[in-house]
Amino acid sequence: MKLKVSEIFCSIQGEGLDVGSPNIFLRLFGCNLRCSWCDSMYAVKGNDYENLSLDTILAKIRDLKYKKICITGGEPLLQQKTLVVLVENLLKDDYKIILETAGHIKPEGIFEDPNVLISMDCKCPESNMVDKSNILILKTLSNKDQIKFVIKDKSDYIFAKKIVLKEKFNAEVIFQPVYGSDSKLLVKHILEDKLNVRFVPQVHKFIWGDIKGV
């Protein structure tokens, strides 16, 4: 069994509930969405990837020593059948896992494991993929998981606010500004509207900028 792998590296977690924590990152290749603000197009199209066996991937992960791993992309769930087998092995080895996914493919049951945090997007209008998110899938997430709204401008904020106020989510809700957008204004809107959400910018970009491999 093999997976299309864009890169494997160590860095701090730059997004969401685990922000600031050292992680191994396994970036899988391929995505069937084309978000306007995508910061990893090298893992979405082209041929910049390797077909790696699960044994090779596990060896590379174990060599990096840390016991937290973020599985990202691209869209990891496009390779879900093989990914499930990898995750089974990682859980046996006592890894803590974050699965980053776009919200249009339902994760298999193994991702409900308490040692897996599902980070699922709800796409806003400026992504140009707003019709791809599945609210029913988002509502299946538990309180160990997170729902991420990537927000570029006021129209995105209004869209996200309406969903948060209308729907009952079990997962933690995060408002993440698009890198380079007005973070102060987004915080102002959240506080004025008394929304029960977390504002979490992409911390790794404040450190290194918008570059590959961090």
Q: Residue 164's closest CA among 154, 174, 150? A: 174
The residues pairing with 3 across neighbouring beta strands, listed in sequence order, are 52
pLDDT band for position 92 (cuts 50, 70, 90)? very high
- End-to-end Cα, the chain, rounded Å: 27
Cα separation, 67 vs 128, whole angstroms: 35
Q: In this structure, is residue 45 part of a structural domain?
A: yes
pLDDT at 76: 98
C-alpha span between 179 and 190 (Å, rounded): 18
CA–CA separation, 55 vs 86, rounded Å? 9
Domain range for 77:
2-208
Averaged pLDDT for residues 157-180: 96
Q: List Cβ neighbours of 117 (8 Å cut-off, separation of 6 or more).
A: 16, 17, 18, 96, 97, 98, 99, 144, 145, 146
Q: Which residues contact 62 (CB under 8 A, 6 or more apart)?
A: 93
Q: Which of the four pLDDT bands, split at 50, 70 and 90, describes residue 85? A: very high
Specify the number of domains making up the chain.
1
Q: What is the mean pLDDT of the chain?
A: 94
CATH number at residue 102: 3.20.20.70
- The pLDDT of residue 212 is 74
The whole-number pLDDT of residue 29 equals: 97
pLDDT of residue 214: 64
Amino acid at 63: D
The pTM for the full model equals 0.94
Domain membership flag for residue 213: no
The pLDDT of 87-93, averaged and rounded, is 98
- pLDDT for 156 beyond 90: yes
Q: Is residue 164 part of a domain?
A: yes
Residue 214 in domain: no
Residue 103 confidence (pLDDT): 93
Ramachandran bin of 96, using left for φ above 0, alpha for ψ from -120 to 50, beta for the remaining angles: beta
Q: What whole-number percentage of the chain has pLDDT above 90?
A: 87
